[in-house]
Structure 1
Amino acid sequence: MSRWGLTVPMTGLPLAGHREIVESLPGLGYTDAWSAETNGTDAFTPLALASQWAPELRLGPAIVPVYTRGPALLAQQAATLADLAPGRFVMGIGTSSDTIVQRWNGIPFDEPYRRVRDTLRFLRRALAGEKVKEDYDTFSVKGFKLETPPASPPPIVLAALRPGMLRLAAREADGAITNWLAPKDVRTVRGELGDDKELIARLFVCPTDDAEEARAIGRWMIAAYMTVPVYRAFHEWLGRGEALRPMNEAWAAGDRRKALEAIPDEVVDDLVVHGSPEACRARVREYVDSGLTTPVLAVVPGGNLSPAEAVRALAPNAD
């Protein structure tokens, strides 16, 4: 297998406590570390630390919202990480969600497709060292130029959950990032992205033989995500709209308990990798066999394993 990533920071472990785990990753067969940005750490700080703790790893944010920082600041932060990890940094951008952008940050979630497209085009030019003076559809830049552009501009990948964004990634980006999908869904995504671009996916992995424990955790996670409009639309496109309709109706009515109970076991089993560490690794390989380039494991606490134990147990070299 060419790539095997880990999401950092891990749940339940302070960022400052990650050094030993991150340093161990290359020796265990991990090739990548990918951050996220929701309501915990920002996307860039964990990667800056990882760039020094494990210089062999490829690093990337999955993803940075295009709304919550100005275009120039995004270029500055991408250039900084590209300097810390030369040739090993990938810039992941996307819309994020209306919850994060509008409800939490007070920024209108307007024209998401165009905003991502415009940001991608701006970053291409800025990271190549150009002076950018351009009126894009969703913002204008008046003469920005990076003081020290990267010697090698980093690849840019797009968060893409539906055909329009996947086709944009295929045309103008270096790949796509997705999450919350089953192995069979990879083929649907590939149908829009094509076979030539890198496809990265965050996979939620709960290493426990207790299926009921894993499903209980998975139901809470699914309810939190799939009731957000962008993810609801994604799973309608993937064909889970009817299976998730009772959950969405109960959630909209304010009945959280009924919403959780309405999520079928088979949906949880589709979207959350769980079982023994051996079974989890085999399941991850099903994604790769279906066309996923880069699996990025997001370890969900389960099975009484510490974060370090889970990382070792789920490593590709554990076989």
Structure 2
Amino acid sequence: MFHLDRTFYSEGAAVDLGRVGVWHPMIGQAPAEEGRRAAARIEALGYGSIWVNEGWASKEPFASAAVLLAATERVVFGTGIASLWARDAMAMAGAGVTLADAFPGRFLLGIGVSHSPLVNTRGHDYAKPLTAMRTYLDAMDQAEQILPKADCPRLLAALRPKMLELSRDKADGAHSYFVPPEHTARAREILGRDRLLIPEQAVVLESDPARARAIARTHMSVYLTLPNYLNNLRTLGFTDDDFADGGSDRLTDAIVAWGSVDTVAQRVRDHLDAGADHVVIQPLSPDAPDLADAVAQLTDLAPAVGLRPGPGGA
């Protein structure tokens, strides 16, 4: 049974998320009109959130979020994530305040330290990411003292204990990525009950094991080159053998939920049962991220994850 009445409060601001949202790289990166149509359809299906990312050579996430917020009516948008290396603390705080003021209760500011290859390409030093995040949040706190007031909950991209502790102590919670439900349970223990926990879950509606795992491994290939994810997975019992040759079946099945709509919906339940407040689904496609295919999978999944269509969603 899915419970949809998840409202999060931060400094008096209500953010009505429900239990299930959507993370997909093309929502913010596709041509604007395509993104607007997809966002409106996702909202109509009843999903509670949509997340836009920031990668190398990507569209600017706050501008993308603004375009999509203006094209929808109720759904909450989040940055998943905005890199602290891409803008100074004043600019980050100002961007969050701008969207929170324009769209009250509809924006979550997700901030992260990104990954060393991307950060080094920008010309920054990734040597001490935890210290960088702590210093950055202190600077954001100072900036918010002089910026116009608007309630903008902030989440940190967090995997391992020290960043999760910082998410608890200096933010409103954590947004985790590339994690199984076992990580969600561990994160909840660290965060406590009064912080928001939003894991991402990659999915593919494909019941043939070979095809499903091939799609999953295409998705996983980049992430299995990034130390942040590998080090986190090691703490969950995975080894270098699991990371070799595109990922073992055990790892692939832990990271990507595949099969029927009911099987995929059960993985979402597993995260919720482990302590997630809200789970964001990332539908995978055979060759590359495909927004039309993602929306088709989300349409099929919506009833299984307990969503009720809104206006125009039938």
- TM-score bracket, normalised by the shorter chain, equals 0.7 to 0.9
CA drift at 1:277: 2.4
Higher Cα radius of gyration: 1
Q: What CA RMSD, in Å, does the superposition of the two structures yield over aligned residues?
A: 2.3
Structure 1 counterpart of 2:170, from 172, 192, 201: 172
CA–CA distance in 2 between the matches of 1:17 and 1:100? 27
> Mean alpha-carbon deviation: is it higher for 27-36 or for 10-19?
10-19
CA drift at 1:308: 2.8
Partner of 1:215: 213
TM-score if structure 2 supplies the norm length? 0.83
Partner of 1:66: 84
Aligned residues between the structures: 285
Partner of 2:15: none
Q: Secondary structure at the match of 1:202?
A: strand
Partner of 1:286: 270
CA drift at 1:90: 1.2
Q: Secondary structure at the match of 1:301?
A: coil
Partner of 1:309: 296
Structure 1 counterpart of 2:198, from 151, 175, 200: 200
CA drift at 1:317: 4.4
CA–CA distance in 2 between the matches of 1:311 and 1:184? 24
CA drift at 1:64: 0.9
2:21 is matched by which residue type in structure 1? Answer: G
Partner of 1:79: 97
The verdict on how the C-alpha distance between 1:13 and 1:43 changes in structure 2, with shifts beyond 3 A counting, is closer
Alignment of 1:14-29 (within 5 A): 14-29=31-46
The verdict on how the C-alpha distance between 1:275 and 1:302 changes in structure 2, with shifts beyond 3 A counting, is farther
The verdict on how the C-alpha distance between 1:174 and 1:318 changes in structure 2, with shifts beyond 3 A counting, is closer
- Unaligned 5+ segments in structure 1 are 132-145, 248-258
Deviations 1:119-140 (A, max 9, x none): 222223323xx24xxxxxxxxx
CA–CA distance in 2 between the matches of 1:311 and 1:221? 18
CA drift at 1:210: 2.4
1:309 is matched by which residue type in structure 2? Answer: A
Deviations 1:163-193 (A, max 9, x none): 1111111122100111111122221222222
CA–CA distance in 2 between the matches of 1:307 and 1:215? 17
Partner of 1:3: 19
TM-score if structure 1 supplies the norm length? 0.82
1:68 is matched by which residue type in structure 2? Answer: A
Shift >4 Å, 4+ stretches: 302-305
8 Å CA contact retained: 1:5, 1:294:
yes
Give the fraction of aligned pairs with identical amino acids, expressed as a percent.
29
- Unaligned 5+ segments in structure 2 are 4-17, 309-314
8 Å CA contact retained: 1:68, 1:107:
no
8 Å CA contact retained: 1:37, 1:64:
yes
1:37 is matched by which residue type in structure 2? Answer: E
Q: Secondary structure at the match of 2:47?
A: coil
